[in-house]
Amino acid sequence: MEILVVDPPSQSDRDAIVRPLVAFNEATVGPSGFRQIAILLRDAGETQGGLWAKASFGWLYVELLVVPEEARGQGLGAKLMARAEDEARKLGCRGLWVDCFTPMRGFYEKLGYEAFGAIPDHPEGVERVFLRKTLS
């Protein structure tokens, strides 16, 4: 086998990595229960922002969250996170987790998320913080 760096890779390249990894993980630790979730902010039928998440192994990972700049400060981010928590409960998840840069950390902490790890200087001078919230 040869080792290649491919930039940019194709979707079929990704699929060739994901398929055996999922099979290995499920054989090792059991079914993931994978579900992709989107909670969208729409205006006049057009998606303007929202939340993109995936559930697996009993946790919901909030991968993306954005509120359009002109709509910030109205509580939409907190409402999106509350809906994500509702969806996580419906899926039987034990909790949610998210990663963000230091400036956004306080937003999640106000919602009851606690830091469980960080990468310093990611990017330089800023921490990338990992936060979680256990559901009751």
55: nearest Cα among 14, 21, 15, 87: 87
pLDDT along the chain (136 residues), means of 10: 97 97 96 96 97 98 98 97 98 98 97 98 97 96
Q: What is the pLDDT of residue 136?
A: 85
| Assigned CATH for 32-134 | 3.40.630.30
Q: What is the pLDDT of residue 119?
A: 98
Nearest-angstrom CA–CA distance, 116 and 131? 6
40: nearest Cα among 13, 71, 9, 7: 71
